[in-house]
Amino acid sequence: MRAMRFRPCIDLHNSIVKQIVGGTLADGKEPTTNFTSSLSAKEYAEKYKKDNLPGGHVIMLGPGNDEAALSALQAYPGGLQIGGGINPSNAKQWLDAGASHVIVTSYIFENGSLSMEKLKELFAVTGKDKLVLDLSCRRKEDGKYYVVTDRWQTFTNLEVNKETIDMLSEYCAEFLVHGVDVEGKRMGIEEELVRLLGEHCSIPCTYAGGADLLSDLDRVKAMGKGKVDLTIGSSLDIFGGPISYDAVVHWQRQQEARASGEAKGMFGGFGRTYS
C-alpha cells in the first residue's frame, strides 16, 4: 500500500543550492532568495539517500547547473528526478546519468498553448514511466488555476482541472505542481489547489509551495486524500527555516510503518490452513 510521502528538493541557481521565492527568477535581475547553502548538491543528495527519501526533485534554475545536478544524481542514482530545460534532445542523457524521471513544463507549450505534437515527441523518448509533467500554476481573477511557464513568468491557457489531469495522466508517471503564488513565501499552502489535486489525480502527484508548519504534512494528507505528496523547501531547517528536517524524516517513517501495518492487516489471513 502506498503511503503519502515527503519529497525532498534541491534547487540549483548558478550551481549553488538555493531557496528562491517563486516567480522572481527572470533574465537580467537577481531573484529574491530566502537561503543560499554552503553545502553542495551532492551533499544534499547523500543526505536524502541516507534517510531513504526517494522521489525528490533537482531543479536547475537557469543555465550553469549541469555539473552540480549531475553530482547529485550520481550520489543518489535512481532516487532523484531532474527538471529545468529538459527536452527530447537531452532527456535520455539525464535518465542515463541516474535520474529516475525527467520533469518537463515549458517545452510542451507553444505560444501559451499545450502542444500535443511536442508532448508526443517527448513521450517517444521517455515513455510514460520516466516522465513527470510539471503543472505549476497560478490563480487568475476567475479563481481558476492555470499552468505557468518560462520560469513561472508566463500564463498559459491550460487550466488545471479534471479534464487536463485525466488527459495528461495518459502520458506521464507523475505530476509536480508548485503553488506559485505562495512558493517560497512560508505563508501556508494553497489549500484549494491541494484539494483539487487530491480529487482528480489518479497517478502520483507532488505539491510544493508555502508549507510553513510540520502539521502541513498531515493537512496535505487529509486534503489530498492521501494521494498528494508534499515538498517542503524554505521552511526546513536545512534551508534556514523553522521546521526540523529530522522531524519530517520521523513523520515519513511513521507513515511507512502505518501503511505496512495496514497492509499486513488486510492480507494477513491469506495463506492460512484450516482443519
pLDDT in tens, 196-212: 999 999 999 999 999 99
- 3-state class (DSSP) for residue 36: strand
Q: What rounded mean pLDDT belongs to the chain? A: 92
Task: Using CB atoms within 10 Å of the CB of residue 214, give its burial: 0 to 12 exposed, 13 to 18 middle, 19+ buried.
Answer: middle
Of residues 36, 38, 43, the one with CA closest to residue 74: 43
Model pLDDT, residue 153 = 85
Model pLDDT, residue 272? 40
Q: What is the pLDDT of residue 21?
A: 76
User: What are the pLDDT digits (tens) for 48-105?
Assistant: 999 999 999 999 998 999 999 999 999 999 999 999 999 999 999 999 999 999 999 8
For residue range 20-35, what is the model confidence (pLDDT) as tens digits? 876 676 666 677 888 8
C-alpha cell at 62: 537557469
CATH 3.20.20.70 fits 6-259, yes or no: yes
pLDDT tens-place string over residues 245-265: 999 999 999 999 988 887 666
Note the pLDDT tens digit of each residue in 232-248: 999 999 999 999 999 99
CA dist., res. 146 & res. 72, Å (int): 31
Between helix 216-223 and helix 191-200 the angle, nearest 10°, is 40
Q: Cα(165)–Cα(30) distance, rounded to whole angstroms? A: 34
pLDDT at site 275: 32
Q: Hey, how many other C-beta atoms are within 10 angstroms of the C-beta on 118?
A: 16
Pairing relationship of beta strands 205-208 and 9-13 according to DSSP bridges:
unpaired
157: three-class secondary structure by DSSP:
strand
Average pLDDT over residues 134-149: 96
* CB neighbour list of residue 212: distance below 8 Å, 6 or more residues apart: 186, 187, 188, 235, 241, 242, 243
Q: Is the pLDDT of residue 144 over 80?
A: yes
**Residue 144: HSE in the Cβ half-sphere, 13 Å Cα cutoff:** 12
pLDDT score recorded for residue 270:
44
Helices 66-75 and 41-50, packing angle to 10 deg: 20
